[in-house]
Structure 1
Amino acid sequence: MRPPAGYALLGYAVRFPGAADVDEFWRLLRDGRDAVSEVPADRWDADEFFDPDPDAPGKMVARRAGFIDDVAGFDASFFGVSTREAEFMDPQHRLMLETTWSAVEHAGIAPSALAGTQTGVFMGLSTHEFGGMLIRLCSLEDIDFYSGTGISGAAGAGRISYRLGLQGPALVVDTACSSSLVAIHQACQALNAGDCDLALVGGVNVILTPIPMVNFSRARMLAPDGRCKTFDAAADGYVRGEGCGVVVLKRIDDAMRDGDRIRAIIRGSAVNSDGASGGLTVPNGVAQQRVITEALRRAGVAPGEVDYLEAHGTGTSLGDPIEVRAVGAVFGDGRDHNRPLLIGSVKTNIGHLEAAAGIAGVIKVALALEHEVLPQHLHFSRPSPHIPWDRLPVRVLDRATPWARTARPRVAGVSAFGFSGTNAHVILEEPPVTDSAAAIPAGGGHWILPLSARTPESLAQLASRYRDWLEAHPDAALADVCGTAGSARSHFEHRAALVVDSRGRARRLLRALREDRPAPGLVRGVCGDRPKTAWLFGGQGCQFPGMAKALFDTEPVFRETVARCAGVLDRVLTRPLLDVLFDARPGSEKALNDTAFAQPALFAVAMGLARLWQSWGIEPDAVLGHSVGQYAAACVAGVLGIDDGARLIAERGRLFGQLPAGGRMLAVFADADRVEEYAAGFPGLSVAAYNGASTVLSGPADELQQVVTWCASVASAPSSLEAAVRCEWLDTSHAFHSALIDPALDEFERFADNFEYSSPRLVLVCNRTGEGLGRQARLDAQYWRRHARQPVRFADSVGTLAQIGCTVLMELQ
């Protein structure tokens, strides 16, 4: 099997006749339904404009077309669009905005995450009926700024880039019926050239006035019965349709590197023109052969490898025979006569979407690849006598046909031919098989399902949609649903978090949210401005055997980070760090409490937690570490790389672990001044930490024991009205931050001088001074020497976080 090449199709979204989303579109295709309907009353009076005579002035021969529901509907406030601007926006622009948003989410990307990225927008748009309506219905006094941007084709793509903050190319393609397929071609070219790293590609068409239908009737283009009978003997014209489809494209190598879900691969594409054919709107079979041949060449695909062709197939007695002959001439080369090319056209289901026709065909093929079924081609009962079927290696899909994976990649072509002569062809291939099941654990446990919306009413509606979706998809993994809701959705002001452990519980909590009822495990709130967040990394003493083992087993990012730290230290430590960290045998805590292992173990776990939160899109505004926790804080702030941080903390642990035993640390829960006053009588003692509620003393064990005796004796004094002072021994191997570690400081400073230190990229609170260090601060080996010896001013450091406005403090340990 050849290696993947081309462009990855990551996601898609649609608003098509009979289908408000991709799930409904697939059901429509699977069930073989025709979504064409009579002209709705909100467009025009079908009786007034109907006349079976194509020469009747101002009349049309067809009463039917493919219409979407609520073409005027638009959630303007969601996109920050004023009422006045929305009134003047072409409904095509509105559809493109909404469908693009849905396509990005379908690709597993939070739309808000694209702001500032090299993402391009390529949209096919060729009709401007809304502009004609404005001219007829508005007076000169009604004209303002929005009446210009609302009908400009360029603004349709530009508004998407503006609203999402995209910085790649933004352009509209108008080649009539081939517009959206040419847009795909242009997007692939831009991805290849590096003009963008992600491309949002689509097409749109809306039917608002009877004028084009009258025009096409006079041109004898429309099927009078409103049925698209492509390739059939009864083919007598095309059926107009409206809608919007958008896909998300990315370079295949980038998509595989980033672990994206790939739904299909665009192997190659080509565009050309009919040139001097039999007439401006007359198809040119030779040009069609050439464009298909070129697309195959660029894709590196032999004609005989293609299983299926999504034909342009408009249902005209002139165009269909020309296309099938061209198809047979190209795809018959080298084809096994027992394996004819299967052909069909989505136009028999939803009509001809004109500028959106090509994208509709591409999405149909992507869905067929995913569901492993080629849908039935409708309205085909008597093969057209104008097509020499017996001499062409093609077969119309008059019934749904399985399309399962085999040893050979499944390949399809999609054609779109513009009535002004621009032809386009795209080759699609099935995505590579990947094992994504291990990405999110599917076993037991609890997950958070986060939902958000612009308004409370919208949040309730969202809960209802999630509940319906869970019921309609019983095989979907709850962990995947929660993961997507958290990392692949933009988050808005009105929020809810549901703690779930089963699908049943999820449905119950979603119902409670929809009905605005309280329930255990359901938390609601309103988020205004983004809170300022600080991450806190703990110090030695909080380690225990098996620490973070469950995270290591279930979270790939955490596992990779901890394993990376352990790998860096393989030749530094006397035992593999992972063996010490996860050894759960009796007595194993002795090794982990050895500071030579405890310090690098705490660092590895802290960095694993930091990278895990960052992979979920959570970043701190400030970081703070308590004693050895400052090393992880410095790495998150960008002062050190993770590998250098692991080496530095490991050497610190090794040097301090070689010091003689006999020192201990004691937390005294009393006013710091009082503790300092009493400790001053013991020359070997040092204050190791000012924690606020407690003050930690460090030094010789015998002197600390006298402090313990003093603490207990306070309440027993004859004139005392005080209770005994509480104190607690800390579980450490040495007397850190005291004179007992002085013998190791010179060597430690020399080792620390081997590294390069960058300025912090975010606020790093120095736990030695309690002050914030900004981008101008320079850390060096002497900084880490002083940090090891001088007391931790944790209370002052937390006070600094409060002063700079941090309202959310996350402890990572």
Structure 2
Amino acid sequence: MTMIEQAATDAELEPIAIVAMACRFPGANDSDAFWRMLQNGDEAIRFFSDEELLAAGVDSERVKHPDYVKAKGVIDGIEDFDAYLFGYTPKEAELMDPQQRALLECAWQLLEQAALNPDRYEGSCAVYVGVGMNIYLLNNLLANFRLRESSDFYQMLIGSDKDFAATRLSYKLNLKGPSIAVNTACSTSLVAVHTACQSLWDFQCDAAVAGGATLLVPQLSGYLYQQGGIPSPDGHCRPFDAKAGGTVPSSGVGLVLLKRLSDALNDKDTIYAVIKGSAVNNDGSDKIGFTAPSVNGQAAVIAEALAVAGVAPGSIDYIEAHGTATPLGDPIEIAALKLAYADDGEKQHCALGSVKSNIGHTDTAAGVAGLIKTVLALYHRQIPPSLHYFEPNPAIDFATGPFYVNSRLQPWPKTTSPRRAGVSSFGIGGTNAHVILEEAPAISPSGVSLRSLQLIPLSAKSPEVLQALSSKLAMHLRDNSTQALADVAYSIAVGRRELPVRKIVVAGNHDEAIRLLNDAYYQQTADAPAIVFMFPGQGTRLIGMGVELYRSEPVFEEQVDRCCDLLLPLLGMDLRRVLFPITGHEAAAEAELAKTQVAQPALFVIEYALAQLLMSWNIKPSAMIGHSLGEYVAACIAGVFSLQDALLLVSERARLMQQAESGAMLAVMASEASCQAWLGDSLALAAVNAEDQCVISGSLVAINALQKRLNASGIGCKPLAVSHAFHSP
């Protein structure tokens, strides 16, 4: 441990866990696709033909202009907003900033990935996000002057203003923590992450959504190159290369979900990486112009982040740079890094890269794009290549510092310190942000599920979306065959909202689940129905009843054990030896269970434990009803008396019944009126269960005689497995 790390130990902030990521970047509609693109070293910038641009309405003179660059970073499907899912009318969706629409969709995916259902989450979830300039408002809405005279004008303002980017998420997703829009130009989304960390460290919230979005619409268009400007002359971004000439404008959306590490561990979340520290500052006037970067400002924010994290510069293995590939920006960024890392004497050991070489400059979302890239690299323990780097920029001296540009996919080796990285994002106007990341702590895998089958509930607002969701999950299971099906089932069950179009898959393995998920079936549901628990009486006992639940469901096992331990002094025996006999002792257990003194407490235990298991799954009754012994179970669960009192009452009642004269009971498929004709001194009507279903009690001789008589008359009847004539005088 270095002196810096030792000095920081006592005052070290709790790391912030990154437990979910959702993104839509050029060439990647989710984080898995994004990582594949980074691994493969793909460039996702799209180059347009003249025909495409003309068909999209770009002026023909602009298309012919020699400095018009026919390239941009494009994301797919921005016109496919699911307004119905979020409760918007088509008109409301049309008047809303597409950047805020995309944030809503990504936030939904983010919470589902984290298995955080806001309606059930007991903590407070904050939102810190920002969006770029609303070009859609300028090009599509304000151009329609009729809107100014209509009642839709106010709705257009509400849907377009940057101020509502965060609060819209909070309202539609029921997130009740702080909700703040962040806007610092290119550094917006990383500043949002920093602010979210501060909120978590201050215990203003228990989870936080952070990130940003930029949509450059219309997407099917290029840009006009100007020498000395920020955009690239040829549609390629070459950070730190001798041919670097600028960046490429791109659309992008990225969000992360953050929790304090202790909470994430307690919630058994997937932890992709942790944030050890972060910092934000501004250049002030220490630069040549408002839009220019500052060496001192950038160096100061990096040094502060390292100090907050309590780590030495030499322990950082990788830097995700701002890396715009501009002639001014790249040399200043490296100079600032070398200044902040002045105490790091080792040469060219820290890899350097920029995601802008893959996807261009996503403006407001640029910081979170770099963050997600680096988190994925830590999680997969690989450093992806920074593209288009062949020869260093002559204005940058890499040989005298700790940095080198990583131009190939390489393993991220383990050193004496945990794997660590820094992520930079610098905004026009001078607001700088830097975050220090560390690999996630080692977590023990979840235990093997004792259940032979897993239940996977899916729901959506339409059959089409439900089937798409099913297909996507089937693909996920196919691509992740080592992932425990029980973990998947649990996360989906507890972490997603219940929508009206539903599908349930019950499967024992991945292949079975995949097959059933690809079947096109669903059920439309109304409001959740009221549930009634019905508890039967004696006559329903069976050796081994509940044994599979006892072996596979901890809640059921716990409740059975609790009841049997309480009954031990009352019965003078361990009821579990009768309920779940060992091999070879079934006959003896059957004989014991035939005794009323044992059977009634046994039934109570199983019914009570089963009810507790159902309620632990949030299947709770609106009403309860019991028959005979079952009435005691219903009364106990309803709180009429305690479990201890119920077991004392049931066991003593059963003991007294055992001492009564023996008898029998006969279930008869006949009406009450018909049964009355067969009654006498030795027979009594015990129960009327339905219009043509009754039970008669009496002495064994009388019941046997009645059974023969009814059989001869063709009237259905069946003796019950009881030892006494219950419910009779």
Determine if the TM-score, normalized by the shorter chain, exceeds 0.5. Answer: yes
Residues 144 and 687 (structure 1 numbering): CA distance in 2 closer, same or farther, change over 3 Å?
A: farther
Q: Distance in 1 between matches of 2:426 and 2:607?
A: 58
| 2:649 maps to which of 647, 652, 668 | 652
1:712 equivalent to 2:713? Answer: no
Equivalence for 2:665? 666
1:98-137 correspondence runs (5 A) = 98-110=105-117, 113=120, 118-133=124-139, 134-137=141-144
RMSD: 3.9
When normalised by structure 1's length, the TM-score is 0.76
1:18 equivalent to 2:27? Answer: yes
Residues 707 and 199 (structure 1 numbering): CA distance in 2 closer, same or farther, change over 3 Å?
A: farther
- Work out whether residues 115 and 495 of structure 2, in 8 Å CA contact, stay in contact via their aligned partners in 1: yes
Provide Cα deviations, 1:649-688, integer angstroms capped at 9, x if missing partner. Answer: 4333443455473335635435457768977846xx9987
| 1:309 maps to which of 310, 319, 337 | 319
Equivalence for 1:623? 624
Equivalence for 2:149? 141
Equivalence for 1:516? none
Q: Which runs of 5+ in 1 are unaligned?
A: 54-59, 514-522, 740-813
Q: Distance in 2 between matches of 1:151 and 1:355?
A: 16
- Work out whether residues 540 and 628 of structure 1, in 8 Å CA contact, stay in contact via their aligned partners in 2: yes
- Work out whether residues 274 and 287 of structure 1, in 8 Å CA contact, stay in contact via their aligned partners in 2: yes
Q: Residue 223 of structure 1: CA displacement?
A: 1.4
Residues 500 and 660 (structure 1 numbering): CA distance in 2 closer, same or farther, change over 3 Å?
A: closer
1:582-621 correspondence runs (5 A) = 582-585=580-583, 586=585, 587-590=588-591, 602=603, 605-606=606-607, 608-610=609-611, 612-614=613-615, 616-621=617-622
- Work out whether residues 130 and 165 of structure 2, in 8 Å CA contact, stay in contact via their aligned partners in 1: no
Residues 290 and 569 (structure 1 numbering): CA distance in 2 closer, same or farther, change over 3 Å?
A: farther
Which moves more between the two structures, 18-27 or 537-546?
537-546
SS at match of 1:78: coil
1:297 equivalent to 2:304? Answer: no
- Work out whether residues 17 and 258 of structure 2, in 8 Å CA contact, stay in contact via their aligned partners in 1: yes
| 1:413 maps to which of 422, 444, 448 | 422
- Work out whether residues 348 and 398 of structure 2, in 8 Å CA contact, stay in contact via their aligned partners in 1: no
Q: Residue 423 of structure 1: CA displacement?
A: 1.7
Q: Residue 125 of structure 1: CA displacement?
A: 1.4
- Work out whether residues 325 and 392 of structure 1, in 8 Å CA contact, stay in contact via their aligned partners in 2: no
Q: Residue 328 of structure 1: CA displacement?
A: 3.3
Q: Residue 16 of structure 1: CA displacement?
A: 0.6
Which moves more between the two structures, 320-329 or 6-15?
320-329
Equivalence for 2:243? 234
1:459-498 correspondence runs (5 A) = 459-498=466-505
Q: Distance in 2 between matches of 1:126 and 1:15?
A: 15
Q: Residue 561 of structure 1: CA displacement?
A: 5.0
1:23-34 correspondence runs (5 A) = 23-34=32-43
1:175 equivalent to 2:179? Answer: no
Q: Residue 29 of structure 1: CA displacement?
A: 0.7
Equivalence for 1:204? 213
Equivalence for 1:550? 548
Q: Distance in 2 between matches of 1:658 and 1:210?
A: 81
- Work out whether residues 667 and 694 of structure 1, in 8 Å CA contact, stay in contact via their aligned partners in 2: no
Provide Cα deviations, 1:508-564, integer angstroms capped at 9, x if missing partner. Answer: 444542xxxxxxxxx643223332222334445544444333334334454455556
Q: Distance in 2 between matches of 1:155 and 1:411?
A: 35
Residues 144 and 52 (structure 1 numbering): CA distance in 2 closer, same or farther, change over 3 Å?
A: closer
Q: Residue 690 of structure 1: CA displacement?
A: 5.3
Amino acid corresponding to residue 352 of structure 1 in structure 2: H
- Work out whether residues 233 and 246 of structure 2, in 8 Å CA contact, stay in contact via their aligned partners in 1: yes
- Work out whether residues 713 and 724 of structure 1, in 8 Å CA contact, stay in contact via their aligned partners in 2: no
Amino acid corresponding to residue 129 of structure 1 in structure 2: I
Q: Distance in 2 between matches of 1:708 and 1:113?
A: 55
Provide Cα deviations, 1:207-241, integer angstroms capped at 9, x if missing partner. Answer: 12699987984761111122221122222222221
SS at match of 1:34: coil
Which moves more between the two structures, 450-459 or 19-28?
450-459
1:384 equivalent to 2:393? Answer: yes
Q: Residue 381 of structure 1: CA displacement?
A: 1.2
| 2:719 maps to which of 728, 746, 749 | 728
SS at match of 1:314: coil
Equivalence for 1:781? none
SS at match of 1:270: strand
Using CA pairs under 8 Å that are at least 6 residues apart, name the structure with larger relative contact order, 1 or 2.
Answer: 2
Q: Distance in 1 between matches of 2:183 and 2:635?
A: 53
- Work out whether residues 45 and 71 of structure 2, in 8 Å CA contact, stay in contact via their aligned partners in 1: yes
Amino acid corresponding to residue 444 of structure 2 in structure 1: D
| 1:528 maps to which of 526, 529, 535 | 526
Residues 181 and 34 (structure 1 numbering): CA distance in 2 closer, same or farther, change over 3 Å?
A: same
Q: Residue 248 of structure 1: CA displacement?
A: 1.9
1:217-616 correspondence runs (5 A) = 217=226, 220-278=229-287, 279-331=289-341, 333=343, 337=346, 340-403=349-412, 408-438=417-447, 440=449, 445-513=452-520, 524-559=522-557, 562=560, 581-585=579-583, 586=585, 587-590=588-591, 602=603, 605-606=606-607, 608-610=609-611, 612-614=613-615, 616=617
Residues 620 and 407 (structure 1 numbering): CA distance in 2 closer, same or farther, change over 3 Å?
A: farther
SS at match of 1:103: helix
- Work out whether residues 208 and 259 of structure 2, in 8 Å CA contact, stay in contact via their aligned partners in 1: yes
Equivalence for 1:85? 92
Equivalence for 1:49? 62
Provide Cα deviations, 1:261-282, integer angstroms capped at 9, x if missing partner. Answer: 2222233322222222213222
SS at match of 1:532: coil
Residues 209 and 708 (structure 1 numbering): CA distance in 2 closer, same or farther, change over 3 Å?
A: closer
- Work out whether residues 69 and 223 of structure 2, in 8 Å CA contact, stay in contact via their aligned partners in 1: no
Amino acid corresponding to residue 729 of structure 1 in structure 2: L
